[in-house]
Structure 1
Amino acid sequence: MSGMFTDRDEDRDGAAPAAGAEVEPTQEGTAPPRAPGRRRSRTVLVAAAFVVVTAVAAVGALGLGGDGGEGPAAPPRAGSTVAVTRATLVERTKVDGTLGYGAEIPLPAKASGTVTWLPEAGTVAERGDTLLRVDDRPVVLLYGTLPMYRELGTTAGTAAPDTTGNPTPPAPGGAGGKGGTDGGTDGGTDGGTDTASGGTTGTGGGTGTGGGTGTGGGGNTDAPPRSTPPQPLRGMDVLQFESNLAALGYTGFTVDERFTSGTERAVKRWQKSLGLPETGRVGLGDVVYASGRIRLGQPSVRLGAAAGENVLGYTGTTRKVVVDASAQEASWAVRGAGVAVGLPDGTAVRGQVASVGRQVTAPEGDGGTSGAAPTVPVTVTITDQRSLGRLESGPVSVEYVGRKRENVLAVPVAALVALAEGGHGLETEDGRFVTARTGLFADGMVEVSGPALRAGLKVRIPQ
C-alpha cells in the first residue's frame, strides 16, 4: 500500500512511474488532470504575445514624426477614402433677428380738438385716405417729406401805401391850419397872399381859410386809400400740396410754388368731397404728410380724448428684419450686403442689409456685470415680400458670410486625426500619416496645408 501511494506522488510531481508499479486506471469520461506548472507557463506566453502585438500597433499609429511630414507605414485599415481637393470655403454665421414692420413713429397730426374716430390697428392707408377724425373733421394722408407748418390759401388784399405826405388830417380851426402854412410856403413863389384863420398872414400865392384850406396852390387834400387784389402764397409746401391735389384728380391749376385762385377752386372741390366747408383754404391740422403708404398702429388714446401728435403711430408697409448685432462683430453689417433669412417653417429667403444703427446699446438690465457685448441695430430688407407668405412678425434667423478662402486645399473635417506629438494629420490610402496644418472650417470642410499634401491625394476617414 505504501508503494502505491509513492508511485502516485511521484507521478503527480511529473516523474515516470516505476517499473512494475500498479497504475490506477482512469475513470471513463473524465479528462486527465493537467500539471499546474504547465498551465501557468502557457498563460504567460499568451500575455506576452498580446503585449507585443499591441506595442507594434501603437508604434505604427503614433510614430508619425519626421521632418518631411511623413511617418512609417502602418498596416492598412478598413474605411472610406476621399481625395484632397481645391475649393473655396466660406464661413457662415447665424444670428437671431425679429421679423416685423419696424419701430412705430408717432403720427404728426396737428389738429386740435376731440378725437371722434380712430382706424383699426394694421390698417394700410394711402394718399387721400382719412387717418382719424378730430371734431368730426377728417385728417387726410398726403405724400411728401415737408411737414405741414402753416395754413395754405391765397393771401388777403392789402391797402395801397399813402404817398400824400399827410398821414394825419388837419384839425379843423387850428392855429393857422396845416393847409394855411403849406399854402403860404408852397404858393409864396407865385406872389399870392395867404391869410389863415387865427391871425397868421404869409406872403405868397393862395389864401388859406379856416383849418388850412389853401387856394392857388396852397393846401393839399388827402386821397382815398386804394386796395390790392389777393396775392398768391408761395413756397415749396405749396408745390408739395398741389402735387398731391393733382394726383387725387383735382386740376384746373398749374402745379408750381404759387397758390393761385385756380388752386383755391380745386381745394373747394376737394373739400366738398370730404364733407368739409368749401373755404378754399387748407388748415394746419387738415393733412398729414408721409413718404408713402403707411400701416397704422394701435391708437394710444380712446375716443373722446384730446387730439395730439401721440394719438396714433405708424410704420411702413414693408416687412423687414431687425438684428441686434454684437458691436464687436458687426463688420459683416455693411449696407447692401446679402444675407439669408431663415423663417420658422425652415425655408430661407434672400435679404439685404439696409441700414446699421449708430447708437450702441448695452444689454437691458445688465449694468456691465454679465460681460454681454453691447449691440447695434441692423435692419435687413426683403425684396420679395411674397416669399414671406402671410407671416407678419416673429423670430427668425439671419445667416451672413464671415471669412472666405478661395482656391485652397480642403478635406472633410472627419478625415483629421490627432497626432501624438500634437496638431493634426491625415492618414493616406496606404496607411502612412502626414501632418496637416488646419485653416478655415466651413460647411463640414477644413482648409489644410502641408509639404506632403497635394490635390488628388487619397486620404482615409477613420472609422
Structure 2
Amino acid sequence: MSRKWVLTGVAVLAVTATAGVLAYTWTATGPPSAGAGPAPAQTVAIVRADLSDTREVAGTLGYGAETPLKGHKAGTITWLPQVGGEIDRGKVLYKVDEQPVLALFGDTPLYRKLDTPGTKGKDVKVLEANLAALGYSPGTVDEEFTAATSAAVKKWQRANGVKETGAVDPGDVVVLQAKSRISAVKAQLGDPAEGELLSVTGTSTAVTVPLDPGQVSLAAKDAKVGVTLPTGKQVLGTVAQVGTSVQSGKGSDPNSSPKVTVTITLDEPGNFESAPVRVQFTTETHKGVLAVPITALVALREGGYAVQVRGGGLVAVKTGLFSQGRVEITGSGLVEGTQVVIAT
C-alpha cells in the first residue's frame, strides 16, 4: 500500500501578510491509477535576506506644510502675488502704498528697526548675510550693525526704488526660511497691510503625514520610507521634518484627535502636485536572516510550523518576522540554498 499527502485543512496566520499555511496528515490509499503519476512538487530555495516590518498610514502629496505670513507695515495693500508663484531672496513679496516689501532668507525675523551703528543681534546678521548674498557688501557679516551696513542698505534700497534711509524697519521685509511658493493669498487689494496676508510652502513637492503623538517614534528624521502614489507606483522618500508641536484636531468630527505633522521629500516626485498617498514607515528590521515564502510553512497538528525539504521530510522551524509575503525561519540543518516545498 502506498502513502501520499492529502490536504485536510488550512490554518490562518495572525499576521498582516495574507497567505495559506497548509496542514497535512498521512492517509492510506490504494495504488494510483495507471498513467496518472503524481505532479512534481514545486520548490524554492531558502534565501538570506533583510526583512522589515512596516506600518502604513495615509498622507497627502503637495508642497508641504503651509506657513502663514503676517504684514507688519501700516498702509494699504496695493499689489499681491499670484498663487503658485515662487519668491526668491530679494524679490517683492507684496506692496504697501506702492512700496515693495522684500523677501529675505534666515532663521530670525526682524523685530526692531535697524539703523544705529553698534546695534548687535542675530537679526543684524540675517540682514547682513542677505545684503552680501544680493551683492551689497556690508563688510564683515556678523551681528553688529555698522556704517558699512547702513551704506549697503542704501545701495539695496536704491536698486529697489525705495527711499534711501540706510535703515530697515521690520515691516520693510519678510524673513523666509528659503525660496518659497505662494500657496494662498488671503488679503485683497485695498485691505489694511497688517495681519495675515499670505501663506507659503516649499517649492518642491512633499508628503505631509498627520501622526498621533504616540506614533511619532515611527518617523526619525532622515529615515527612508516607502510611498505609494495614486498610480500604484512605489517610490522612496526621506523624512525631512518632524513637527515639534501638537496640533489640535479640526472640524466637528468627535473622533478627531491632536496630530503631529511629518514632512517627507520624495526621491522621485512624479507628475502629481496634489494627491492622497500611502506612506510605509519601517518599524523593525532583521538583517541577513533565512527567509522563505509564507506558503512554504506547514502548520503542525501538535502546534508550531515546519517546512518540507525536497527529497526529505518535515523540519520544524521557529518563525520570526513576517514581511511582504516572506517569513524569517530557523531550523535544524536549514541553510541558504536548501530547497523547500511550497503550496500551489
Same fold (TM over 0.5): yes
TM, length-normalised to structure 2? 0.76
Matched, 1:300 2:186: yes
The 5 Å alignment of 1:118-157 reads 118-154=80-116
Distance 1:254 1:81 in 2: 72
Hey, what's the Cα distance between the residues in 1 that align with 2:328 and 2:247? 35
Verify the 8 A CA contact 1:328 1:373 in the aligned structure 2.
Answer: no
1:28-47 alignment, distance < 5 Å? none
CA shift for structure 1 position 85: 4.3
1:258 corresponds to: 145
Amino acid across the alignment from 1:234: T
Using a 3 Å threshold, how does the CA distance of structure 1 residues 425 and 366 change in structure 2: closer, same or farther? farther
Q: C-alpha distance in 2, partners of 1:325/1:243?
A: 36
1:277 pairs with one of 163, 178, 193: 163
Match of 1:438 in 2: 319
The aligned amino acid for 2:204 is: T
Cα separation, 1, equivalents of 2:25 and 2:330: 17
Structure with the greater alpha carbon radius of gyration: 1
CA distance in 2, matches of 1:61, 1:390: 49
1:395 to 269, 273, 276: 276
* Superposition deviation, residue 303 in structure 1: 0.6
Q: 1:460 aligns with which of 334, 341, 344?
A: 341
Residue 125 of structure 1: how far off its partner (Å): 1.1
Aligned pairs (5 A) from 1:57-136: 77-78=38-39, 79-136=41-98
Higher strand proportion: 2
Superposition CA RMSD, Å: 3.6
Long gaps (5+) in structure 1: 1-51, 63-69, 155-231
1:335 is displaced (CA, Å) by 1.9
Cα separation, 2, equivalents of 1:299 and 1:71: 71
More helix by share: 1
Distance 1:87 1:276, change over 3 A: closer
Match of 1:380?
Answer: 264
Say if 1:366 and 1:92 are closer, same or farther in 2 by CA, change over 3 A. Answer: same
Q: Encode CA deviations 1:125-162: one digit per residue, 9 max, x unaligned.
A: 112211111111111112233322222335xxxxxxxx
TM-score of the superposed pair, with normalisation by structure 1: 0.58
Deviation at 1:430, TM superposition (A): 4.7
**Alpha-carbon distance in 2 for matches of 1:363, 1:258:** 44
2:71 is paired with a residue whose SS is: coil
**Distance verdict in 2 for CA 1:447–1:364, change over 3 Å:** farther
CA contact (8 A) 1:233 1:258 kept: yes
Does the 8 Å CA contact 1:152/1:281 hold for their aligned counterparts? Answer: yes
| Correspondence for 1:425 among 282, 286, 306 | 306
Distance 1:92 1:115, change over 3 A: same
Cα deviation, 1:239-291, whole Å, max 9, x if unaligned, reads 4323333332334866552332x544443443333333333333342222223
Aligned to 2:240: 354
Task: Verify the 8 A CA contact 1:122 1:296 in the aligned structure 2.
Answer: yes
2:43 maps to a residue whose letter is T
CA distance in 2, matches of 1:313, 1:301: 10
1:24-62, Cα deviation, whole Å (9 max, x unpaired)? xxxxxxxxxxxxxxxxxxxxxxxxxxxx99xx768x778
The amino acid across from 2:183 in the alignment is: G
255, 264, 267: which one pairs with 2:153? 267
Counterpart residue identity of residue 145, structure 2: R
Which aligned pairs between 1:108-257 and structure 2 lie closer than 5 A? 108-154=70-116, 232-236=117-121, 237-251=123-137, 255=141, 257=144
More deviation in 346-355 or 96-105? 346-355
- Aligned partner of 1:323 in structure 2 is 209
Contact 1:152–1:233 under 8 Å retained in 2: no
Over 3 Å counting, the alpha-carbon distance change for 1:328 and 1:137 in structure 2 is closer
Q: Take 1:451 and 1:145, find their aligned partners in 2: how far apart are those partners?
A: 60
| Change beyond 3 A, Cα 1:440–1:77 | farther
2:196 aligned partner, one-letter code: N
| Paired amino acid for 1:379 | T
Q: Tell whether the 8 Å contact from 1:73 to 1:430 is kept in structure 2 after alignment.
A: no
Q: Residues 423 and 364 (structure 1 numbering): CA distance in 2 closer, same or farther, change over 3 Å?
A: farther
**What is the CA–CA distance in structure 1 between the aligned matches of 2:28 and 2:281, rounded to whole Å?**
43
Letter in 2 for 1:367: P
SS at 1:111's partner residue? strand
Deviations 1:317-367 (A, max 9, x none): 233211233555554322221122333344443322233335276696553
